[in-house]
Structure 1
């Protein structure tokens, strides 16, 4: 053997050993049997001719108009809760503009059995504008109707009388906690503020995190250069009474932008992933001419700013992922969609049938036509692994799973396809789970099992480090999940 051949053999041996050592030192992500949606790069090691693509929701119906005398064109800060088969809406009613936290503000309630046709029940709790026939659940207690934000407490063992919780308050009052047994009749659960010393001049939101095993509260702060940007901080609590020192959310490499509402919530099909449909606020956007402002008769102070919806995510802790910097939902055609504080997302994402989910947007703020509109997405369909007309490949990082079957939420064109290979951490195919043996996926399915020539049982690999290789063309993969 000559010197050149020996040198090449040594190089090959070195590279092989280095690759083995590197693979053995790689972190192995234990995903258990969680559903993983492709909304960030958490699972992805390498992409070739495949990209992470943010998907576009399609518009649905106007589901509610702020048309009661105590509601009006300045209504806002809306929360949607799916409570069993009932959809519950909570929102601020405000017929005239003025100082935040005024005595004019009330908290209103509406409900629906289908998420489209909402009814405003006459609750008879308060006398508002001379009548008890109204849908008001909180009044005459400023400033708490300004931004009353409820949620269902899913903490195990919580007493029924505390099933529903809420937070509300401004910088002057601090944030207070409220509880309810039925979601209609509310009272304060704290003698004083649970958190104070911050602006809170937005919709501040909380929930029980089953992954972090504690309450999490996201609230308005001002940060960035010279503290000039509306932004978000976070605090946590084990008992909803005593809260840790707040920390500012990290935006990663994203630019500083005004985030007016954050609406952070656990995704109901993958609660370890928090979805934040945010109102991105652009001061002095000036999308409308003076003539156009006069034509829609909007109050001047609401005529020059504008907003759209962006998508942020988090896997707990103080980091928001801005995988996509562009708008998730752009303002629609119509001058009314370009005024200040319109296009603000409702807090809440809900399943509406076997294949779709919905979120809701507040439209036409400061105008007589103010209303809430529904938008629809495929389940898990915020974004996807997307391959075009040229064949592409996706390689995951090393993972461990629990279960024996792999399920995909995917869609292909008529000529598109998806094939899957299970590899060891060195990238070698594990028989019989090779590309050649895989039964090619075509179609459009929310849940489809992966099979290799009659074999779908991956139980022999449970708990062992593996990689997944997807080969795809003209196709989308929205999520994966291992099941028993």
Structure 2
């Protein structure tokens, strides 16, 4: 293993990478690092989340997973312009993956989205993430389109990535899937500003709704390739270079992700669930996956009745960049399934997945109502996908407490959580805690389970608050510098509260050195420094 690939969290990748053990059946997919965690876990990078048992040696607390809540401003973008209204066939103004990012260079939220079904790729901007403007651009004069399709080309899926580490001229990267009379393919682009794009040719063969992301933990671009080896499923291809990641021989990609026997049919539909989408982003110390789970009906049925497919967004969590832990199979963001609702079905998470906005995570997504088409149910326009099932594409926004994917909770009787042995170089322990009517104390133990003075529960200043970042202090200790580079265990004693995360920061202000999804206001990039 090279220094560049050294494990930030102690998980040593297998000798064969990427792994090649994923089968096509319905068995549960393995997560090897949960069965064999490191003996000592480095925690210098990012807030440490309780989404699994990786960090936990003993606990009497109860883990609770949380879903995102729709923002009251949703939908934040609906079809209005001539381009979006699609001549009345299938009005759409929604990310079909595409991307929503915060750009610190001009302090704007930026949304790339599907404008008019199988029609445009457009850009909207915002200062607050709620009220969006459509700038008049020069790509297709008089519109906010950023790509001028070739004659007879119709766009399908797309993903846009803001690469903060890239040279200025290739700061933005895009995958865009086109269909035309003689075929279909993905194409890759780069741009200095997200408006004017340079095409770099076709990708290797992949299905529509393929996508990509950058994994900063491994410093690799990863293409999430849609395939059909398990109905709808995903293959994996990585490379340090964007252009190389977009092209592969068969032996350079491996089976990666699919649904399994814990994915149950929607009782109102009855079809076998399938993995429709898989997008990812680095958040704090983990790779966060947005999985679009398709419940049906199949395309011919939806076309006949003129209603969108049912797709919910679930989450997966990965600490090695390949294996996904999926502990919660209920929807993180659910389509309503209620006819005439703006979010009836067909959810697609935006590229970048989430933004950090003050104390919240914001999740943008496209969703379809099936409303507003001049096509009748069962009627098809000038091409196969021109059907009312793809009408009424809107942009939704849902929110979650920062780090709020899972909490470790205690009632009034109290409980405790002891971490596995960890090692750090920082000096200040911080937690994300909700216990205004309770109490939290922390003690630090050696590997024999003995308290390291003065870091005892008795010396710990009790915490009673509801904050996404609060510092833990002990009487008789300025900071944790005497413990740096020494394996220790934290023991959290909690009463009437919810513990979301902990981390040891090099600064008293609590910077985590972790990743921030698609960025956010008052952030200089996508790392918490």
Q: Which runs of 5+ in 1 are unaligned?
A: 1-24, 96-103, 127-131, 287-292
Q: How does 1:28-43 map to 2 (within 5 A)?
A: 28-43=40-55
- Residue 79 and residue 143 in structure 1: after superposition, are their counterparts in 2 closer, same or farther (change >3 A)? farther
Q: How does 1:171-250 map to 2 (within 5 A)?
A: 172-190=183-201, 193-196=202-205, 198=206, 200-207=207-214, 209-223=215-229, 227-228=230-231, 230-243=232-245, 245-250=252-257
Q: Shift of the alpha carbon at 1:454?
A: 4.8
Q: Is the 8 A contact 2:275 2:292 kept in 1?
A: yes
- Residue 304 and residue 240 in structure 1: after superposition, are their counterparts in 2 closer, same or farther (change >3 A)? closer
Kindly provide the CA deviation profile for residues 79-98 of structure 1, in whole angstroms up to 9, marking residues without a partner as x. Answer: 11111111111122234xxx
Pairwise CA RMSD: 2.8
Q: Shift of the alpha carbon at 1:374?
A: 1.5
User: Does 1:59 find its partner at 2:71?
Assistant: yes
User: C-alpha distance in 2, partners of 1:48/1:390?
Assistant: 11
Q: How does 1:341-360 map to 2 (within 5 A)?
A: 341-351=345-355, 353-360=357-364
TM-score, normalising length from structure 2?
0.73
SS in structure 2 at match of 1:241: helix
Q: Is the 8 A contact 2:350 2:364 kept in 1?
A: yes
Alignment counterpart, residue 168 of structure 1, candidates 166, 176, 179: 176
Q: In the alignment, which residue of structure 2 is the partner of 1:45?
A: 57
User: C-alpha distance in 2, partners of 1:307/1:465?
Assistant: 44
- Residue 169 and residue 66 in structure 1: after superposition, are their counterparts in 2 closer, same or farther (change >3 A)? same
**Number of residue pairs matched?**
422
Kindly provide the CA deviation profile for residues 1-20 of structure 1, in whole angstroms up to 9, marking residues without a partner as x. Answer: xxxxxxxxxxxxxxxxxxxx
- Residue 251 and residue 364 in structure 1: after superposition, are their counterparts in 2 closer, same or farther (change >3 A)? closer
Q: Shift of the alpha carbon at 1:253?
A: 7.4
Q: Which runs of 5+ in 2 are unaligned?
A: 1-36, 264-272, 373-391, 507-529
Q: Shift of the alpha carbon at 1:328?
A: 1.4
Q: In the alignment, which residue of structure 1 is the partner of 2:297?
A: 284
Q: How does 1:62-461 map to 2 (within 5 A)?
A: 62-72=75-85, 73=90, 75=92, 76=94, 77=96, 78-84=98-104, 85-95=107-117, 105-126=119-140, 132-141=141-150, 143=153, 145-155=155-165, 158-169=166-177, 172-190=183-201, 193-196=202-205, 198=206, 200-207=207-214, 209-223=215-229, 227-228=230-231, 230-243=232-245, 245-250=252-257, 255=262, 257-267=273-283, 270=284, 272-284=285-297, 300-303=304-307, 305-332=309-336, 334-337=338-341, 341-351=345-355, 353-368=357-372, 369-414=392-437, 416-461=438-483
Q: Shift of the alpha carbon at 1:248?
A: 2.1
User: C-alpha distance in 1, partners of 2:405/2:500?
Assistant: 8
TM-score, normalising length from structure 1?
0.79
User: C-alpha distance in 1, partners of 2:170/2:468?
Assistant: 35
User: C-alpha distance in 2, partners of 1:477/1:213?
Assistant: 31
